[in-house]
Amino acid sequence: MEVVKETKMGFEETELRLGLPGNSGGGEGEMARKRGFSETVDLKLNLSSKESGADPNNLEKINSLQREKNLLATDPAKPPAKAQVVGWPPVRSFRKNMLAVQKSSTDQEGEKLPGGNATFVKGKMFSSFTIGNCGSHGLKDFLNESKLVDLLNGTDYVPTYEDKDGDWMLVGDVPWDMFAESCKRLRIMKGKEATGLAPRAMEKCKNRSYK
Amino acid sequence: MLRKASSFPEEMLEHVLSFITSDKDRNAVSLVCKSWYEIERWCRKRIFVGNCYAVRPEMVIRRFPELRSVELKGKPHFADFDLVPDGWGGCVYPWIAALATAYPLLEEIKLKRMVVSDESLEVIAKSFKNFKVLVLSSCEGFSTDGLAAVAANCRNLRGLDLRESEVDDPSGQWLSRFPDSFTSLASLNISCLGAEVSFSALERLVGRCPDLKTLRLNHAVPLDKLANLLRGAPQLVELGTGAYSAELQPDVFSNLAGAFSGCKELRSLSGFWNVFPGYLPAVYPVCSGLTSLNLRDANIQGADLIKLVSQCRSLQRLWVLDYIEDIGLEELAACCKDLTELRVFPSDPYGAEPNVSLTERGLVSVSEGCPKLQSVLYFCRQMTNAALVTIAKNSPRMTCFRLCIIEPRAPDYQTLQPLDLGFGAIVENCKDLRRLSLSGLLTDRVFEYIGTYAKKLEMLSVAFAGDSDLGLHHVLSGCEKLCKLEIRDCPFGDNALLANAAKLETMRSLWMSSCSVSFRACKLLGQKMPRLNVEVIDERGPPDLRPENCPVEKLYIYRTIAGPRFDMPGFVWTMNGDSV
């Protein structure tokens, strides 16, 4: 059997396009929800707006936003479609729904980070809080701007942290350097549990001298 | 002394056949001669229909009047990832309605990737007096109202398994509908349910069912209540926990550890949502007896994870996130010599950069250390031909090999070559390979290897691979046992398909999406092959509004004796005969 030239052309068409040969592009929005290949689980990212609400731990959302930014900023030689290839990698959308629900029904998330080391925290987690810059002011502004709201339950959450003294503090209330040096672990608390934490921040700043 | 086949007593044959349960064997028996066909069909108790559209329910009922168990599959596998648009089909109701009339003594219904309505569940609940087992795997379309009907009416229910289904879940009260007199439950899997079930109803149910061996909870069952359930069911063999986190309190911990210690029969664990690592040691007492551990939903990482896994010396099956990393897999290889199945899922599948240190080395370690390894599903971000060749040599008994390199068309990262040679080694060395999923950069060459060597291959999944129709042709002409072929984003077009049309009748189904098969070829195939349903799925609108040589969006071809289906939605067109 012979390989017809048309087939090669067909290949190029499919390679370059996100959608399908002859696709007007109108199907793209629809297709963006779709996935496919071997079975697996997807625990985290949910880029579609439909399921994105139920997530009191905003780290997931922020991670996703940061990842999007990363992808857009990466080497143009990489296929720009990387984040949006329909149905790839092959993960089950069923699992995304499960995760969204499970995140909303847990009350408190005590996040003991591996090693409990503040430097590790900064590298891994806080770079995803800020969109773009990772300056301390950026972090503080972002977190103080809005409480994290669990859209399913309507309760609001605030990120807090335990410092060297064992005190629980609101994230963002002390300067970045002080935070980075003293943070032992993080916890996302319900808004009402976090009352009374703010005043300690002033005390800390007065009593310590940080570079 | 010779006997003519016709004088062989029927009862004798029936008795012999009662020991033959495999579908393949039963089918073979029925082909021996007409009288054996007749005897066999009257005593067949279980039927498996791999494609619900391959046959009509009336045909099944006519041939097998005494069924007790029916298993059906609906949507194609790629539906798991939403490649099949909603409304495509797979509704089970017509089957349920037909079965209800024909088989009042039916005991088991097992469905996979089907749309199941509450109405269907109600019919099941009320039609079969001796109903025992309901398995709904990756199904959708029903709510807990349907489950309530089953709970309330199926007095002899032994198993209710909702694995991976999407259930509309407004209330958790359905569990309370099991009457107090109901004690026959042996297996309950509600891990997919979103909302809370009534815990007291659950506790009472578990406490009064002495045969309960399998209990898979959903995440809403809190950890501090798990101990109560375990103490009520120390005979459990398989357990799925709920959420595995709580404030670390000594009494809760010791209560839980004590409860686990009491479960001497426990062989399988799953669940572990939202793990608080401080509670992991509570399961250590049961680890040495575990043969199956499913941590695909567990956010356990680092040392905690490795410690847990390395204590499970009898492990045969491990499902885990890539938090296990290469280092954890090395430990697994050292500790778990009975391992037959490994699945490593991605914790961050859409991340631009790897978030964990899991590479090809992890899988190589396992292949080296676990001589019984047969089934692999492995998500990673880099691979080499050398690693695949090593894996192939170490694991000649492999029957299922599914590799997903997250970046499409990723080459061997060391040599920058396609991974043809690596996968070629897999199919050449693993002579019993039945299932294969490809990924990475692949040319037509890999398909040549597959067609040449993969003689027992039954299912092949292909994505972003190949150069031309030759690739598809190699597979269709070479893989004698091929049953299911699913392809996406490959440059395969009309020629290979039309040249191998007859092959398609020997397979269950072929799926092709984002390939280069023209509408013209689809029509031709549909016209020439009356025993195939050739269905074009195209959400852009009717394919005949576009030029004939325009490739179709998606194509699903399957053999059938039922003719074209009548329940196609607006975006599915059949290419069969006159209806084109």
Q: What is the rounded CA–CA span in Å between residue B45 and residue B53?
A: 21
pLDDT, mean of residues B147-171: 93
Other beta carbons within 10 Å of B19:
7
Q: If residue B29 lies in a helix (H) or strand (E), which one and from where to where?
A: helix B23-30
Which of the two residues, B486 and A83, has the higher pLDDT score? B486
Give tens-digit pLDDT for B454-480: 999 999 999 999 999 999 999 999 999
Closest-CA distance, B436 to chain A, in angstroms, reads 10
Contact B329, B366 (CB under 8 A): yes
All residues of chain A having their beta carbon less than 8 Å from the beta carbon of residue B219 are 98, 101-102, 105
Model pLDDT, residue B89: 97
Model pLDDT, residue A104: 41
Residue B513 has pLDDT above 90, yes or no: yes
Partner-chain contact B488 A94, CB within 8 Å = no
DSSP state of B492: -
Query: In chain A, whose CA is at the least distance from the CA of B169?
Result: A101
All residues of chain B having their beta carbon less than 8 Å from the beta carbon of residue A85 are 408
Q: Which of A12, A16, A37, A55 to mutate to test the interface with B (most CBs of B within 10 A)?
A: A37
Bridge partners (DSSP) of residue B572 are B537
Q: What is the rounded CA–CA span in Å between residue B253 and residue B275?
A: 14
Residue B207 has pLDDT above 70, yes or no: yes
Model pLDDT, residue B1: 53
Closest-CA distance, B395 to chain A, in angstroms, reads 21
Q: Which residue in A33, A64, A92 is closest to B80 by CB distance?
A: A92
Q: Which pLDDT band, with edges at 50, 70 and 90, does B481 fall under?
A: very high
Model pLDDT, residue A103: 44
Summary mean pLDDT of chain A:
51
Lowest mean pLDDT among B351-355, B406-410, B509-513: B351-355
The candidate with the shortest Cα–Cα distance to B151, out of B134, B139, B165, is B134
Model pLDDT, residue A17: 41
Q: By CB neighbour count within 10 A (0-12 exposed, 13-18 middle, 19+ buried), where does A194 fall?
A: buried
Place of tokens 């898979």: B216
Query: In chain A, whose CA is at the least distance from the CA of B242?
Result: A102
pLDDT, mean of residues A70-77: 44
Closest-CA distance, B441 to chain A, in angstroms, reads 13
Beta carbons within 8 Å of B254's beta carbon, 6+ residues apart: none
Q: Which pLDDT band, with edges at 50, 70 and 90, does B358 fall under?
A: very high
Q: Which pLDDT band, with edges at 50, 70 and 90, does B378 fall under?
A: very high
For chain B, the structural domain boundaries read: 8-44, 506-579
Cα B397 to chain centroid distance, Å, stands at: 21
In Å, what is the CA distance from B158 to each residue of A112, A177, B99, B161, B204? 42, 60, 20, 10, 16
Report how many Cβ contacts below 8 Å link chain A to chain B: 196
Q: Which pLDDT band, with edges at 50, 70 and 90, does A186 fall under?
A: confident
Model pLDDT, residue A164: 81
Q: What is the rounded CA–CA span in Å between residue B237 and residue B253?
A: 21
Q: What is the rounded CA–CA span in Å between residue B517 and residue B472?
A: 12
Model pLDDT, residue A158: 74
Bridge partners (DSSP) of residue B53 are none
Give tens-digit pLDDT for A84-93: 688 899 998 6
Model pLDDT, residue B100: 98
Q: Which pLDDT band, with edges at 50, 70 and 90, does B503 fall under?
A: very high
All residues of chain B having their beta carbon less than 8 Å from the beta carbon of residue A7 are 468-469, 491, 493, 495, 516
Residue A173 has pLDDT above 90, yes or no: no
Q: Which pLDDT band, with edges at 50, 70 and 90, does A201 fall under?
A: low
Model pLDDT, residue A100: 46
> What does chain A look like in DSSP terms, one character per residue?
----HHHHHHHHHHHH-SS-TT--STTHHHHTT-B-SS--B--S---SGGG-S--S-THHHHHHHHHHHHHHHS-TTS-GGGGG-TB-S--BHHHHHHHHHHHHH---EEE--GGG-HHHHIIIIIHHHSSS---HHHHHHHHHH--EE-TTT--EEEEEEE-TTS-EEETTSS-HHHHHHH--EEEEEEGGGGTT-HHHHHHHHHH----
Model pLDDT, residue A153: 55
Lowest mean pLDDT among A27-41, A125-139, B324-338: A125-139
Residue A105 has pLDDT above 50, yes or no: no
Which of the two residues, B293 and A48, has the higher pLDDT score? B293
Q: Any chain A CB within 8 A of the CB of B548? A: no
Residue B206 has pLDDT above 50, yes or no: yes
pLDDT, mean of residues B277-293: 96
Q: What is the rounded CA–CA span in Å between residue B293 and residue B299?
A: 14
Q: Which pLDDT band, with edges at 50, 70 and 90, does A115 fall under?
A: very low
Contacts 24+ apart (CB under 8 A), B427-430: B427/B452, B427/B453, B427/B454, B427/B457, B428/B392, B428/B453, B429/B392, B429/B393, B429/B395, B429/B396, B430/B392, B430/B395, B430/B396, B430/B397, B430/B398, B430/B399, B430/B401
All residues of chain A having their beta carbon less than 8 Å from the beta carbon of residue B490 are 14
Tell me the two tokens of residue B238: 């398989």
Q: Any chain A CB within 8 A of the CB of B489? A: yes
Q: What is the rounded CA–CA span in Å between residue B94 and residue B53?
A: 11
Q: Which pLDDT band, with edges at 50, 70 and 90, does A67 fall under?
A: very low
Q: Which residue in A23, A93, A101 is closest to B82 by CB distance?
A: A93
Radius of gyration of chain A from its Cα atoms, rounded to whole angstroms: 22
Closest-CA distance, A153 to chain B, in angstroms, reads 13
All residues of chain A having their beta carbon less than 8 Å from the beta carbon of residue B80 are 36, 39, 90, 92, 94
Residue B131 has pLDDT above 90, yes or no: yes
Q: What is the rounded CA–CA span in Å between residue B411 and residue B408?
A: 9
In Å, what is the CA distance from B574 to each residue of B209, B266, B508, B556, B567? 49, 50, 17, 10, 11
pLDDT, mean of residues A163-177: 80
Which of the two residues, A148 and B114, has the higher pLDDT score? B114
Instruction: Provide the 3-class DSSP secondary structure of residue B395.
Output: coil
Tell me the two tokens of residue B574: 């059949």
Q: Which residue in B81, B194, B196 is closest to A87 by CB distance?
A: B81
Cis status, amide bond into B371, omega within 30 of 0: no
All residues of chain A having their beta carbon less than 8 Å from the beta carbon of residue B352 are 67, 70-71, 74, 82-83
Q: Any chain A CB within 8 A of the CB of B406? A: yes
DSSP state of B85: P
Lowest mean pLDDT among A138-147, A162-171, A201-210, B102-111: A138-147
Lowest mean pLDDT among B37-51, B240-254, B384-398: B240-254
All residues of chain A having their beta carbon less than 8 Å from the beta carbon of residue B493 are 4, 6-7, 10
Predicted model pTM: 0.77
Partner-chain contact B83 A34, CB within 8 Å = yes
Q: What is the rounded CA–CA span in Å between residue B556 and residue B228?
A: 49
Q: Which residue in B77, B406, B516 is closest to A14 by CB distance?
A: B516
Name the percent of chain A lying above pLDDT 70.
19
Q: Which of B489, B513, B553 to mutate to test the interface with A (most CBs of A within 10 A)?
A: B489
In this structure, CATH architecture of domain B8-44: Up-down Bundle (1.20)
Q: Which residue in A10, A30, A87 is closest to B493 by CB distance?
A: A10
Tell me the residue type at B204.
R
Q: Which pLDDT band, with edges at 50, 70 and 90, does A119 fall under?
A: very low
Phi, psi of B196 (to 5 degrees): -65, 140
All residues of chain B having their beta carbon less than 8 Å from the beta carbon of residue A95 are 297
All residues of chain B having their beta carbon less than 8 Å from the beta carbon of residue A64 are 350
All residues of chain B having their beta carbon less than 8 Å from the beta carbon of residue A102 are 219, 243, 273-274
Closest-CA distance, A179 to chain B, in angstroms, reads 24
Partner-chain contact A87 B488, CB within 8 Å = yes
Partner-chain contact B540 A85, CB within 8 Å = no
Phi, psi of A29 (to 5 degrees): -60, -40
Partner-chain contact B473 A1, CB within 8 Å = yes
Task: Considering only the C-alpha atoms of chain B, give the largest distance between any 2 of them, rounded to a whole number of Å.
Answer: 78
All residues of chain B having their beta carbon less than 8 Å from the beta carbon of residue A21 are 516, 550-551
> What does B305-349 look like in DSSP terms, one character per residue?
HHHHHHT-TT--EEEEEGGGHHHHHHHHHHH-TT--EEEEE-SST
Model pLDDT, residue B122: 98
Model pLDDT, residue B57: 98
Model pLDDT, residue B312: 97
Partner-chain contact B515 A14, CB within 8 Å = yes
Lowest mean pLDDT among A9-13, B85-89, B207-211: A9-13
pLDDT, mean of residues B402-420: 97
Q: Which residue in A8, A38, A114 is closest to B301 by CB distance?
A: A114
Q: Which pLDDT band, with edges at 50, 70 and 90, does B167 fall under?
A: very high
Model pLDDT, residue A96: 54
pLDDT, mean of residues A134-161: 51
